[in-house]
Structure 1
């Protein structure tokens, strides 16, 4: 383990949080890539608004991944965002490559945001239970961002 910069956190807790943070790092990196896949391939009514929105949401989710990676370093760990690890450890299935319609992409990417949000909320509880409130706060902020972007994207879906 690297030097730890977080005070008052024992080694066992730091290692547990590093694992939890790396698991969520894989999810948010995958979500970013899925958002770009969606961005590049959608077509149809409402295209330009969703296309531009996905650039904005990708930037916000990249900021989340940076915050998670930085917290890992603060705790003495090594962030692992390598493509192979992300592919292996993300909770998200492969993004479908056979859809083009805006409505289909909006539904697909919104569901992916929701799935990542569930994992972030689980991580809030796990970090709080472990006594690492700073990591719990980081996950809380990440959850707020992901929820808000799920809403922004999902609001483009046709009403049922």
Structure 2
């Protein structure tokens, strides 16, 4: 991802650390935006006997990702960075596997989304550690809240598979 000149800020975090956190945040932003669009894809196309329940669940899960997307992007800009949040940027930078387009069977979609939520939750926990280790408690706290939400969403998905 291309580096941008940092915008001035009075936040008392050294520019090098801010640069590191901006990169970390933008990586999570790409993954979270990508997951959001994949959940919407599943919402629009899910099929099977549990259609309405899953259609509504996937829509609710997508809505719950909007807050973290906004919070991460705003933290980037608060640190003086540029939030890299277009669909094209997210697609290019995302570490989340693409959702297959050959079947939209309800339970298959639940399992595929659960895999993607688990992947994002894992990278979010790694981002908590990276932020803490770098000395940015505020970014770590942001990721901690996001992690709790991802785990809850994962629980909702996994409950359908048990």
User: Residue in 2 aligned with 1:50?
Assistant: 54
> Unaligned regions of 5+ residues in structure 2, if any?
1-5
> Unaligned regions of 5+ residues in structure 1, if any?
none
Equivalent of 1:35 in 20, 36, 39: 39
User: Residue in 2 aligned with 1:155?
Assistant: 159
Equivalent of 1:16 in 13, 20, 24: 20
Structure 1: how far apart are the matches of 2:70 and 2:154?
19
User: Residue in 2 aligned with 1:3?
Assistant: 8
Structure 2: how far apart are the matches of 1:71 and 1:61?
16
TM-score, normalization: structure 1?
0.94
User: Residue in 2 aligned with 1:138?
Assistant: 142
Structure 1: how far apart are the matches of 2:98 and 2:142?
27
Contact 1:2 1:77 in 2 (8 A): yes
Structure 2: how far apart are the matches of 1:76 and 1:103?
43
Q: SS of the counterpart of 2:20?
A: helix
User: Cα distance, 1:83 vs. partner?
Assistant: 1.9
Equivalent of 2:86 in 82, 85, 89: 82
User: Cα distance, 1:3 vs. partner?
Assistant: 2.1
Stretches (4+) displaced over 3 A: none
Q: For residues 79-126 of structure 1, give each alpha carbon's deviation from its aligned partner in whole angstroms, at most 9, with x where no partner exists.
A: 001222211111112210111211100000110000011110000000
Equivalent of 1:65 in 65, 69, 79: 69
User: Cα distance, 1:5 vs. partner?
Assistant: 4.6
Structure 2: how far apart are the matches of 1:3 and 1:116?
31
Q: For residues 48-104 of structure 1, give each alpha carbon's deviation from its aligned partner in whole angstroms, at most 9, with x where no partner exists.
A: 111111111111111100000010111000100122221111111221011121110
Structure 2: how far apart are the matches of 1:113 and 1:45?
23
> Relative to structure 2, which stretch is displaced further, 19-28 or 39-48?
39-48
User: Residue in 2 aligned with 1:115?
Assistant: 119
